[in-house]
Amino acid sequence: MARSRINSSDNDIVSDSGSILWSFILGEQLEFPIVLNFMDDTTESGWEYEAVIVEGLNVSAQEEPPVTHKIDGVKTTLTCRLPDYVGEWDEATAYNPEEVVLYEDTYYRFLGEPATVDATTPDENDDWEETTMNRMYIQIPSTLASTWAVAPLVDSPVYGFFELRVTEPNTSVYKKTWKPVRGMVEILFSPTNMVP
């Protein structure tokens, strides 16, 4: 069988589901889960996580998102929170929100009140939710875009560019780096952000 031409792009050996568009209102502070399908446990030692947003080349009253970043624009490093795995579930242990336990080969994340002790097993308790260990959480600070050169207007948002980078530990034969999520961040006008 003949080989395909070098400029043929029928097969994509590194694929993704496409770029994202996150939409925030100026001053919001939120956290988003991201599942990393290429790994089993984000809490394994030595992995590096970096999430950033760079200011776009916004103009006042723009009708379309910018197509490039602002060369001397604001660069924001976001906090990446990993699951707080505390071991196998124990009926006598007091658990706090976001702690993760293992119960009968399933991971559960605690959603209840701090320092809760409850002998009801996680699979029967509404304070627990099934989860996985291959997830992480990106935290968006309330200060995002507050110092950008152009502020959002009522009918004209401003934009930045987002990317998440995940890098293997140094113990790997060839240290690989993935960039599983990237895209644009839209910042919308906020009346409450204008009132002291």
Q: Helices H, strands E: what count in the chain?
A: 0, 11
Domains in the chain, please, with CATH? 17-81+133-196 (2.60.40.10), 84-132 (2.10.10.20)
* pLDDT single digits (tens) 53-97: 999 999 999 999 999 999 999 999 999 999 999 999 999 999 999
DSSP code of 123? G
Residues 6+ apart with CB under 8 A from 54: 69, 70, 73, 74, 75, 76, 160, 161
Sign for the CA dihedral angle at 65, 69, 74, 78 comes to positive
- What pTM was estimated for this model as a whole? 0.87
Q: What is the pLDDT of residues 116-143, one digit of tens each?
A: 999 999 999 999 999 999 999 999 999 9
pLDDT digits (tens, 9 = 90+) for 142-177: 999 999 999 999 999 999 999 999 999 988 789 999
Q: What is the pLDDT of residue 10?
A: 61
Tell me how many degrees the CA angle 85-86-89 measures, rounded to the nearest 5: 115
How far is residue 16 from each of residues 33, 101, 122, measured CA to CA in Å?
17, 30, 34
